[in-house]
Amino acid sequence: MGTVPAIPKYDRIRRDIVARITSGQLPPGAMAPSENEIIRQYGVSCTTARRALAEMAAAGWVERVKGRGTIVRRRQVERSVDRILGFTRNMIEAGRTPRTEVLSVRRLRGGLGARPLRGPVWAIRRLRLADDEPMMIETRHVSAELCPGIDACDLTGSLYDLYAGRYGLELVRVDQELSTLLLDREAAATFGVAGPLPAFRISGVTCCDGGRVLETEESIYRGDLYRFTVRATRDGAGERTSPWM
């Protein structure tokens, strides 16, 4: 039988410290073990200690802050742009606890809603939080014809679930555009941060069965708490499937 390769010392150290981070023993903002502390605790060389810290930094677990040392980073949430994925499911998959604050709900008459919607719309503005930390400001214009009385519903949960469960609407396509921006004063105040802060903006249109436009969206994501990913395949390399929410 072949022998199992030994795990390098730097990797064992990395795994040990990452386990302390994921267990909450080392929360975000806490000081990570320094190079000298790793040398003393694990009895390794400075080269091994540096490699362990470098591996953790490259993976986004820690960062070096001038004048402070190495601290534990807040983990960014991955948002895949090739999935129709609501905030609630996204946070649950990331191991976070989602919560929503409804900022405003207004009914706008025809012509005042966001194109390409026609007729009256519901303008719904919400703050989405994870573990009580503000993550996203979401503004949706929802067809009042397709979703009558939605203002009387519980809007603190998933709108996608509401569309399906209450109105029987099946989402078939989402067209989205991703861009970047700096938060303005109003958005920064809503997030409870000091600007300017880089952010992502997603603008999109959601269509339901029959190609009917159900809603338009403009959502602002905190740039320090999110990273966006996309998966692509070569033409002819097989069809890609998009998991639904």
DSSP 77-136: EEEETTS---HHHHHHHTT--EEEEEEEEEEE-TTSSPTT--S-EEEEEEEEEETTEEEE
- pLDDT tens-digit map of 60-88: 788 888 888 899 987 778 787 777 778 88
- In a domain, residue 21? The reply is yes
- In a domain, residue 106? The reply is yes
pLDDT confidence of residue 242: 43
What does each C-alpha distance from 30 to 38, 73, 182, 236 come to in angstroms? 16, 8, 27, 48
Query: Is the domain of 61 the same as that of 85?
Result: no
Query: Is the domain of 63 the same as that of 91?
Result: no
Query: Is the domain of 114 the same as that of 195?
Result: yes
Query: Is the domain of 185 the same as that of 116?
Result: yes
- pLDDT tens-digit map of 148-169: 999 999 999 999 999 999 999 9
- In a domain, residue 111? The reply is yes
243 — pLDDT class (breaks 50, 70, 90): very low
Query: Is the domain of 16 the same as that of 58?
Result: yes
- pLDDT tens-digit map of 20-69: 988 889 988 899 999 999 999 999 999 999 999 999 888 778 888 888 88
Q: Domain containing 125: what range?
A: 77-229
Look at residues 47, 53, 76, 51 and name the one whose alpha carbon lies nearest to residue 65. 53
pLDDT confidence of residue 145: 94
Query: Is the domain of 104 the same as that of 224?
Result: yes
pLDDT confidence of residue 186: 92
User: What integer best gives the mean pLDDT of the chain?
Assistant: 87
- In a domain, residue 155? The reply is yes
State how far the Cα of 51 lies from the Cα of 44, in Å rounded to an integer. Answer: 11
Query: Is the domain of 95 the same as that of 24?
Result: no
What CATH code is carried by the domain that includes residue 82? 3.40.1410.10
Q: How many domains does the chain have?
A: 2
Query: Is the domain of 138 the same as that of 224?
Result: yes
What CATH code is carried by the domain that includes residue 16? 1.10.10.10
179 — pLDDT class (breaks 50, 70, 90): very high
Q: Which of 180-184, 235-239, 241-245 has the highest mean pLDDT?
A: 180-184
